[in-house]
Structure 1
Amino acid sequence: MTVQLYTSSSNASSRKARAWFTDHKIPFTERNIIAQPLTQDEVKRLLRLTENGSEDIVSTRAKIFKKLNVDLDEISTSKLIELISQHPDLLKRPIMFDEKRLQVGYNDEEIRRFLPRETRKMEMLKVRSRLAI
């Protein structure tokens, strides 16, 4: 299973995520979404993986968000998808996902969900054995 990593070169969290996947030998493919914006179908796929829809992936603090004067409660889904395809800076970064999981932004604890189950179990056993000492 390969993780998809959507990044931008100027984003420190994107660099951390790339390093984490490399250090943990987890296969990933990286795509700079500024240099290679997402298609509308790719944006739809991301939205399907979210728990809270657009608020999970859209950066309301981005300059372009303010410039476009977008109201996430009022905009249609199709118009939002079109805007994200045209303005990839609207997306939070990094975005990491596979067939079942989605994580937006780098978080040391949450990114561990991409570790194989056996690896997570082994690490939990190590932690428990240290606590028992």
Structure 2
Amino acid sequence: MLNTNTDDSTTRAGFMPFTLYHNPRCSKSRQALQLLQEQGIEPQLRKYLDEPLNLDELKQLLSQLDMTPRQLMRTGEEIYRELDLANTELDDAQLLDALLQHPRLIERPILSNGKQALVGRPPEQVLQLLK
């Protein structure tokens, strides 16, 4: 039977719904959302500052991104310096804990299709996942 699902978040055949890990106060995140909407995509929004990721979700996202916890960190945040997260002796478990305790450290925006994810820096980068 033909799939007649009209959910805008699934407009690309063969992909799970798109999820945008989003901070509405971030201009880059808002720009990424606008670019997606201009392409006819209405992603599910995960406002990760209001609804923080749990450990399993964070590990899954890192796997989709093919990144380490350190690579996902916003190094310009004050909490990054306060916690001395540039310290190369910190292991991934410690960095994951910092990301979980301080979700503001997570780079944004991130677009996921359930299998792959991309950081939208610059915001146009999210369009690569639509191809």
Could you tell me which amino acid in structure 2 is paired with residue 87 of structure 1? H
Could you tell me which amino acid in structure 2 is paired with residue 25 of structure 1? G
Moved more, 24-33 or 9-18: 24-33
Q: SS of 1:56's equivalent?
A: coil
Q: 1:15 aligns with which of 17, 23, 30?
A: 30
Q: Return the alpha-carbon distance in structure 1 between the equivalents of residues 125 and 49 of structure 2.
A: 25
Could you tell me which amino acid in structure 2 is paired with residue 112 of structure 1? L
Q: Is the 8 A contact 1:6 1:96 kept in 2?
A: yes
Note the C-alpha offset of 1:89.
0.8
Note the C-alpha offset of 1:99.
2.9
Q: How does 1:106-121 map to 2 (within 5 A)?
A: 106-107=121-122, 109-115=124-130, 117=131
- What corresponds to 1:69 in structure 2? 84
Consecutive unaligned residues of structure 2, counting only runs of 5 or more, are 1-15
Note the C-alpha offset of 1:111.
2.4
Q: How many residues align?
A: 116
Q: 2:50 aligns with which of 35, 40, 50?
A: 35
Q: Does 1:25 align with 2:40?
A: yes
- What corresponds to 1:79 in structure 2? 94
CA RMSD of aligned residues (A): 1.9
Q: Is the 8 A contact 2:22 2:46 kept in 1?
A: yes
Larger radius of gyration: 1
Over 3 Å counting, the alpha-carbon distance change for 1:94 and 1:108 in structure 2 is closer
Q: Deviations over 1:14-46 (max 9, x none)?
A: 101111111111241111111111111111112
Q: Is the 8 A contact 1:14 1:106 kept in 2?
A: no
Moved more, 70-79 or 54-63: 70-79
Q: Return the alpha-carbon distance in structure 1 between the equivalents of residues 23 and 123 of structure 2.
A: 19
Q: Does 1:98 align with 2:113?
A: yes
Could you tell me which amino acid in structure 2 is paired with residue 34 of structure 1? L
Q: Is the 8 A contact 2:22 2:29 kept in 1?
A: yes
Moved more, 85-94 or 27-36: 27-36
Over 3 Å counting, the alpha-carbon distance change for 1:46 and 1:73 in structure 2 is farther
Over 3 Å counting, the alpha-carbon distance change for 1:39 and 1:108 in structure 2 is closer
Q: Could you list the runs of 4 or more consecutive aligned residues of structure 1 that deviate by over 3 angstroms after TM superposition?
A: none
